[in-house]
Structure 1
Amino acid sequence: MKKLGAFLGFLIILLTVGILIFTIYHSPQYKGEIAISGLSEETTAYFDEYGIPHIYAANETDAYRVFGYLHAQDRLFQLEMMRRVGTGTLAEFLGPDLLEIDQFFRTLGIPEHALSSTEVWNTQPDSPWKAATEAYIAGVNEFIQEGNLPVEYTLIGEKPREFTINDIHAITGYMSFTFAMALKTDPLVTQLSRKLGPEYLEALSIQTLPEHHFIPNFYPDTIENESLISLLEKLPVPLLEGSNGWVISGSKTKSGKVIFANDTHIGFSSPSVWYEAHLEYPGFSFYGNHLAGIPFGLVGHSKHHSVGLTMFENDDQDFFEVELNPNNPNEYRFGEEFLPFTFRKEKIAVKGQEPVDFEIKETIHGPVMNPVVPEIQALTSNPVSSWWVYTQEPTKALEAMYKINHAKNMEDVAEAAALIHAPGLNIMYGDSLGNIAWWAAAKLPIRSEKVYSKIFANGSDPETMPQGWYPFSENPMSINPPTGFVASANNQPDTLRNGVFFPGYYYPGERWKRIADAINSKNDWTLEALKAVQLEVINSDHPQIAKIMLQQLPDFDIGDKESVKAKLENWDGNHELNSIAPTVYYKWLYHTLRLAMEDELGKDTFENYLGTFMMIRSNLPFVRNLENPWWDNIDTPEKETASEIFAESLKITLEELEAQLGKNVNSWYWEKVVVAEHPHPLGSKKPLDKLFNVRTSPIPANDESINKLAFKLNSEGIYHVTSGPAMRILLDFMDVERSLSVLPTGQSGNRFSKHYKDQASLYAKGKYRYQLMNKEDILEESKDPLVFKPR
């Protein structure tokens, strides 16, 4: 027995040592020395309390080379996933389950566009952004060749290939694709138009309604200083969803200096989407938030300017349906003639099996999407092509981002913003001189009067073709407006300078209205006061919807109806975790919409509708319209009314909640039905979810509050938060070297790093930490630097 005990003890020690060695081998290095090739002089990286690198270099290329190495050290597997999506090579890496996603993105044209952008890049003359990008790529590859690879590669039995400029262009293409709102929405709107007609469409907010809130423009004379939705759910990288951004002039702040705020709304993921890094070399100091594989910060600040973004949500993708030649299926009608389809043949590598040959058919408008978008395939047998702004010209995103990071003044940022053709971005700006600005950065197409941008156009009519571009000077913008602030929250900008009301997939503007009302309420704003605004979880539309439904209820007796009515009648739209009203409201809203719409749409299409911007924008006018044709159930001879639907859906809601949470209404707390988890690409497989996914305490999930923590309505009554602020930034130019931020999980994507999820609790509890730029402050937190020496 003693020998057995000694043997077991030895095994435990051996296992412990093995785990320790394995952990150390796969962990990032935060101190000591590393020799890397291509470095001209010694470069030092200091890591602060939360693992953010502060890189001090003698020159620009050394700084970006070291940054590339460190970015790969912390986020290589995330970078791998991003480039695999953008290049259409997920199946090669993860297996046949991802083949349909590769086929979709190849058909859409992102990999092909990346190759053409790379060809243009390689023929361009030398430039600072080319040199910095190539140094970054060299740093990433140095880590791939010499560093300790993250454990994910071991688990799936793969090794990373070399990182290239084509990968960066592919990642940029995926970023431009963002959240696929056109592909989610336009087939549905076309279906509604063809199947149900204008009366049903008028009950929904297809276009922006007058009651929605617009972003005001201020143009100065000069500038002074399965289904596709279920398919996308398989993506191992998050989708961009929306964002808030606002900049307040010194006339409305206690410090008299500009205050800047930004929180980008992106799908929850582990690791966090943004990677923070502070780079310094002579003449340059910038603290940036970077996407995996991108050398320049999309969001960030120097000591004299700050730049952020939200999604513009402009409509930059149209669909053209063409008529086939009845005598030749390889031709389609275009005007008075028939044109031949063109074909692209691709071979998709698939892990564990033979490559798959895949053919992509194209018209004059773009790739035919029927084979890869089930909603289009079910809607029509005619070919439907995608015309997408992003694929119309090579990307200049790297040049634009470099120039924004290195801007000396507001004019530099405006010139850089004009280089962005897609995706549409709201560029938010503030500086130490007191300037504030917002530009809607995108190339906006001039559409034919025959094109209704959310319904398939007649692609056989040449007059439906795009007719050119509006100049950037006509784009929505506001520069040093007399209101003293600029703000965007994915809502509709007012008309362009030329009077055009540009279409898009804009949100109704409740977030913008709450932000604007808050800013206008006082003139002594501080960062501390703005925390409450950024963390607010109130939506004023929801109580209005609840009260309308309550007012129309007939008398009926079920459950504790009176207690429920009292909770909803007194609800101010707050989603705090101890609230009860949201628990009832969202389930009631779901069943109301289901009973009203599922008979016309069918179950699958109704579920797709719940995932569109249109649902969010339509809820209030939909419920308010008591003559809405959707209330009638087309499967019964009787004509149902809104009152009947409200009553029936509430009965179902109360019965289900009693079964789920018990009969005591006062115990139906919102926190009991909210789940907050940040999924890892490998976390969909058990037991890897326990290792990689980051689950936090409940957070105040909500629909369209400023602190938007989104989920999808469902019958289950458990709400999984799928997206939210991917960071929260607050900056006062009075003390630019100690701005505030927080990430949803942590800085590192390496599971064995202590910074993998060390911000998760801060984020869930609405707390912040510093973004340091003062070297003395940094050295207080980082006694032992990581020194890079030339090899």
Structure 2
Amino acid sequence: MKKLSSVFGALLFLVVLGILGFISWQSPSYKGEINLSGLENEVEIYFDTYGVPHIYAQNEADAYRALGYVHAKERLFQLEMMRRVGSGTLAEFLGPDLLEIDQFFHTLGIPKHAKESTEAFLAQGDTQWKSAADAYVAGVNEFIEKGQLPVEYLLLGEKPRVYTLEDMHSILGYMSFTFAMGLKTDPLVTKMARELGPDYLASLSVQTLPEHHVIPNHYPDSLKTENLLVTSELTALLEKLPVPLLEGSNAWVISGSRTKSGQVLFNNDTHIGFSSPSVWFEAHLEYPGFSFYGNHLAGIPFGLVGHSRHHSVGLTMFENDDQDFFEEKLNPSNPNEILIGEQAFPITSRKEIIQVKDQEPVEFEVRETVHGPIMNPVVKEIAALTQNPVSSWWIYILEPSKAMEALYQINHAETMQQVADAAALIHAPGLNIMYGDKAGNIAWWAAAKLPIRAEKVHSKIFADGSDPDSQPKGWYPFTENPQSINPASGFVASANNQPDTTRSGIFFPGYYYPGERWNRIAKTITSREDWDLESIQDLQLESLNELAPQNAKFLISQIDQRQFDGNSELLDDLANWDGKHQVNLSPPTLYYKWLYHTLRLAMEDELGNEGFEAYLQTFMMIRSTRHFLTHEENRWWDNRSTDPLESRSEIISEALKISLEELTKQFGNNSKDWEWEKAVTIEHPHPLGAQKPLDKLFNVRTEAVEANEEAVNKLAFKLNGEGIYKVTSGPAMRIILDFADVEGSVSVLPTGNSGNRFSKHYADQKELYVNGKYRPQLMNEETIKEKSKNKLVLLP
């Protein structure tokens, strides 16, 4: 036995030694010297306490080559996933389960558009942004060729192919699609309109309602851009995506008139689907004439969010409606043509070949009309609605993207006018560009090409493709776009809500949120005039939703409380709830369960289970709830499958009864034990984490957070009947910058700056994030070099 124990002990030692050796082999090094081909001069990279690289170069090309190398070193597998989504090549890498997604993206036209955008990018010649992008690509490929590949490739038995400018534009296409709400919403709204009629739609917020909060515009005469009026001739599927969706955001910029320092105070927290690694990669670049601290997407050389020493730029989703669907009329004498009025137009087609791992390639046909690709074959919701072809008219694929040029110009801008000019280059997706600078300017621009639609067109219901009057009429000039420059209010803010009417009086349609976050931001900012970096943190971390307790009180008003005598204390707590979502409270636990069953009992008989679940995942649910509950003519309350005419009170009472029974089974008889933290889970999933037990290795879990529907610190989840709410998205960073001390700005990421599972920076910020803490965004060269224990030197 002793001998057996000794053998077992030796084997165990060897296994542990092997694991430790493997981890050591896979762990990225943050110090030493590496020869990097193509460099002109030596580049020094200092990694700070949280693994943020501070790159010091002698010229622009070397700086971006170094960024490409270190970005691939830390985020190569994330880059791989994002480029394969945008290029429609997931099945080649991950297998046949992803074939449908590839077919969807090819049909939508993103890979084709990436190719066209790359050709247009190259046709511009040797621009500064092309030279920088080329250097970045070369750095990425240097790591692919010579670096230690992350363990995901080993597990999949794959190797990365060479990175290209077309891949870069594919990643931009992926990002643009994740912002597009039309495919997730318009088929459902069309179904409601056709099967239920206008009376049912009247109880929803398909368009912005008067009680919603809008962003005020302030148009200056001093900032102008040359952009003239021109003319221009899912849900289950998306859950398979191995990359997160970009979903929302907050940003506000406060002028010096409202700050303690008298300087601009800048804030941004982009709301993105949780993932491991999180979306943003932070990097700080320094070379003669340039100093910039940026938040980068994997594979993109220029920061989408970031700051220099004299300006800061952030973003939120504009949520404008930039995608229409046209139900076509086939020519009776030629099924390969559609009719618009009396004129026939051809249906063109192209063959797409998708490589599939361990299988034969799959060839399929994409058919297109003058309006765009026909979506019926790849979107089941559309196929179920009509047998007629339905074409997707999406602004993003109508012209090559100039996003790379715009981002370069924004990063390198020296004036507010230059940022405005760069914003005008962005045609899609719609972005709110937020701006502040050392000179005291604050600004917001809605960056997008806004189409001129005929008055008869309802932008969220399929249009009659055969009606000549339903065709898009052209574009509004950029100077008409919603914007606010140095308003008298002393702040600009955006929270994915509806902007006020444009300069010419257009209330542009979109998929906007109701503005509860914006209202809290606006009310809070205007309550004082001494804001600083510390005091503004309370607003950025706030989990208060003022509308939720109003809804709760209304629900209570609709029931006979005598029927629920045994739960009077619980209902009293809910009636007195202030809308905060601290994890030790019980009112949120009851409120969301009760709201779910109320909506389900009211809507599932009309929409079916799948339709109702789809509704819960649209912007409409959040911005319709108050109106839905209080609208006196709401026809949804009646259960169409029963003879009696059900009332609102009956449905709400039944929903409460079900909720109490389920919560008792779930958490016990004592409602004091129904704390919100017991109903909330949070996990940052990795693409390979769906395969057990790899979830234990790659996914990042944290303690419960103050999950909420629409607070400033939005930690979102999907309503469901299980009563366990998985937080799926939230702030992907929390940035605060006071221009009185640019080098003292702060931020935090949900997990860490590295995507390498064996890096110490894979999840070293998760506790900071959950506990509402921040860490510095270092820019002071002396501090960085003095405190950094990790220096990597890149040699020519």
Give 1:106's aligned residue. 106
- SS of residue paired to 2:377: helix
Residue 19 of structure 1: how far off its partner (Å): 2.0
Residue 125 of structure 1: how far off its partner (Å): 1.4
Letter in 2 for 1:461: D
Residue 18 of structure 1: how far off its partner (Å): 2.2
Residue 334 of structure 1: how far off its partner (Å): 2.0
Residue 555 of structure 1: how far off its partner (Å): 4.5
Q: TM-score normalized by structure 2?
A: 0.98
Letter in 2 for 1:569: A
C-alpha distance in 2 between matches for 1:625 and 1:419:
42
Give 1:714's aligned residue. 720
The farther-off stretch of 329-338 and 569-578 is 329-338
Residue 119 of structure 1: how far off its partner (Å): 1.3
Are the counterparts in 2 of residues 247 and 260 from structure 1 also a CA contact under 8 Å?
yes
C-alpha distance in 2 between matches for 1:428 and 1:420:
14
Letter in 2 for 1:699: V
Structure-to-structure mapping, 1:512-551, within 5 angstroms: 512-551=518-557
- SS of residue paired to 1:602: helix
C-alpha distance in 2 between matches for 1:52 and 1:710:
27
Give 1:75's aligned residue. 75
C-alpha distance in 2 between matches for 1:216 and 1:339:
43
Give 1:415's aligned residue. 421
Residue 565 of structure 1: how far off its partner (Å): 1.3
Q: Unaligned regions of 5+ residues in structure 1, if any?
A: none
Structure-to-structure mapping, 1:209-358, within 5 angstroms: 209-223=209-223, 228-358=234-364
Q: 1:602 aligns with which of 578, 589, 608?
A: 608
Structure-to-structure mapping, 1:51-66, within 5 angstroms: 51-66=51-66
Q: 1:567 aligns with which of 568, 573, 576?
A: 573
1:124-169, Cα deviation, whole Å (9 max, x unpaired): 2111110000000000000000000000000010000000000000
The sequence identity of aligned pairs, in percent, is 69
Answer yes or no: is 1:148 the counterpart of 2:148. yes
Give 1:93's aligned residue. 93
Letter in 1 for 2:584: N
C-alpha distance in 1 between matches for 2:431 and 2:561:
50
Letter in 2 for 1:739: S
Are the counterparts in 1 of residues 224 and 479 from structure 2 also a CA contact under 8 Å?
no
1:445-481, Cα deviation, whole Å (9 max, x unpaired): 1112231100000111222111111000110100000
C-alpha distance in 2 between matches for 1:538 and 1:485:
21
Are the counterparts in 2 of residues 559 and 655 from structure 1 also a CA contact under 8 Å?
no
Are the counterparts in 2 of residues 27 and 148 from structure 1 also a CA contact under 8 Å?
no
Are the counterparts in 2 of residues 89 and 349 from structure 1 also a CA contact under 8 Å?
yes
- SS of residue paired to 1:296: coil
Answer yes or no: is 1:375 the counterpart of 2:381. yes
Residue 408 of structure 1: how far off its partner (Å): 0.5
Are the counterparts in 2 of residues 68 and 137 from structure 1 also a CA contact under 8 Å?
yes
Letter in 2 for 1:692: F
Answer yes or no: is 1:446 the counterpart of 2:447. no
Answer yes or no: is 1:661 the counterpart of 2:667. yes
C-alpha distance in 2 between matches for 1:555 and 1:481:
49
- SS of residue paired to 1:445: coil
Give 2:30's aligned residue. 30
C-alpha distance in 2 between matches for 1:452 and 1:36:
55
- SS of residue paired to 2:314: strand
Structure-to-structure mapping, 1:640-789, within 5 angstroms: 640-789=646-795
C-alpha distance in 2 between matches for 1:394 and 1:44:
36
What CA RMSD, in Å, does the superposition of the two structures yield over aligned residues?
A: 1.2
Are the counterparts in 2 of residues 344 and 361 from structure 1 also a CA contact under 8 Å?
yes
Answer yes or no: is 1:396 the counterpart of 2:402. yes
C-alpha distance in 1 between matches for 2:169 and 2:565:
58
Answer yes or no: is 1:471 the counterpart of 2:477. yes
C-alpha distance in 1 between matches for 2:664 and 2:179:
36
Residue 568 of structure 1: how far off its partner (Å): 1.1
Answer yes or no: is 1:43 the counterpart of 2:49. no
Give 1:491's aligned residue. 497
Are the counterparts in 2 of residues 560 and 665 from structure 1 also a CA contact under 8 Å?
no
C-alpha distance in 1 between matches for 2:148 and 2:491:
47
Give 1:131's aligned residue. 131
Give 1:159's aligned residue. 159
The farther-off stretch of 606-615 and 631-640 is 631-640
- SS of residue paired to 2:536: helix
- SS of residue paired to 2:337: strand
C-alpha distance in 2 between matches for 1:199 and 1:150:
55
C-alpha distance in 2 between matches for 1:82 and 1:704:
28
C-alpha distance in 2 between matches for 1:170 and 1:650:
48
Residue 327 of structure 1: how far off its partner (Å): 4.2
Residue 5 of structure 1: how far off its partner (Å): 4.3
Are the counterparts in 1 of residues 171 and 299 from structure 2 also a CA contact under 8 Å?
yes
Residue 178 of structure 1: how far off its partner (Å): 1.6
Residue 376 of structure 1: how far off its partner (Å): 0.4
Letter in 2 for 1:67: L
Answer yes or no: is 1:168 the counterpart of 2:168. yes
Answer yes or no: is 1:633 the counterpart of 2:669. no
Q: 1:482 aligns with which of 469, 480, 488?
A: 488
Cα 1:784/1:725, change in 2 over 3 Å: closer
Residue 15 of structure 1: how far off its partner (Å): 2.4
Q: Unaligned regions of 5+ residues in structure 2, if any?
A: 226-233
- SS of residue paired to 1:604: helix
Give 2:370's aligned residue. 364
1:523-552, Cα deviation, whole Å (9 max, x unpaired): 000111111100000111111111111111
- Between the two proteins, the alignment pairs up a number of residues equal to 788
C-alpha distance in 2 between matches for 1:539 and 1:480:
29
Are the counterparts in 1 of residues 180 and 429 from structure 2 also a CA contact under 8 Å?
no
Are the counterparts in 2 of residues 268 and 724 from structure 1 also a CA contact under 8 Å?
yes
C-alpha distance in 2 between matches for 1:117 and 1:745:
33
Residue 12 of structure 1: how far off its partner (Å): 3.1
Are the counterparts in 2 of residues 549 and 646 from structure 1 also a CA contact under 8 Å?
yes
- SS of residue paired to 2:534: helix
Give 2:230's aligned residue. none
Answer yes or no: is 1:502 the counterpart of 2:508. yes
Residue 584 of structure 1: how far off its partner (Å): 0.2
Letter in 1 for 2:162: E
- SS of residue paired to 2:682: strand
The farther-off stretch of 396-405 and 16-25 is 16-25
Residue 396 of structure 1: how far off its partner (Å): 0.5
Give 1:177's aligned residue. 177
- SS of residue paired to 1:413: helix
- SS of residue paired to 1:370: coil
Residue 3 of structure 1: how far off its partner (Å): 4.7
Are the counterparts in 2 of residues 259 and 732 from structure 1 also a CA contact under 8 Å?
yes
Residue 224 of structure 1: how far off its partner (Å): 10
C-alpha distance in 2 between matches for 1:339 and 1:412:
42
- SS of residue paired to 1:481: coil
- SS of residue paired to 2:705: coil
Are the counterparts in 1 of residues 497 and 513 from structure 2 also a CA contact under 8 Å?
yes
Are the counterparts in 2 of residues 429 and 437 from structure 1 also a CA contact under 8 Å?
yes
Residue 6 of structure 1: how far off its partner (Å): 4.3
Q: TM-score normalized by structure 1?
A: 0.98
Letter in 2 for 1:335: G
Letter in 2 for 1:426: N
C-alpha distance in 2 between matches for 1:206 and 1:2:
75
Residue 106 of structure 1: how far off its partner (Å): 0.5
Are the counterparts in 1 of residues 180 and 322 from structure 2 also a CA contact under 8 Å?
no
C-alpha distance in 1 between matches for 2:372 and 2:261:
53
C-alpha distance in 2 between matches for 1:82 and 1:555:
52
Structure-to-structure mapping, 1:585-596, within 5 angstroms: 585-596=591-602
- SS of residue paired to 2:628: helix
Are the counterparts in 2 of residues 424 and 441 from structure 1 also a CA contact under 8 Å?
yes
Letter in 2 for 1:393: E
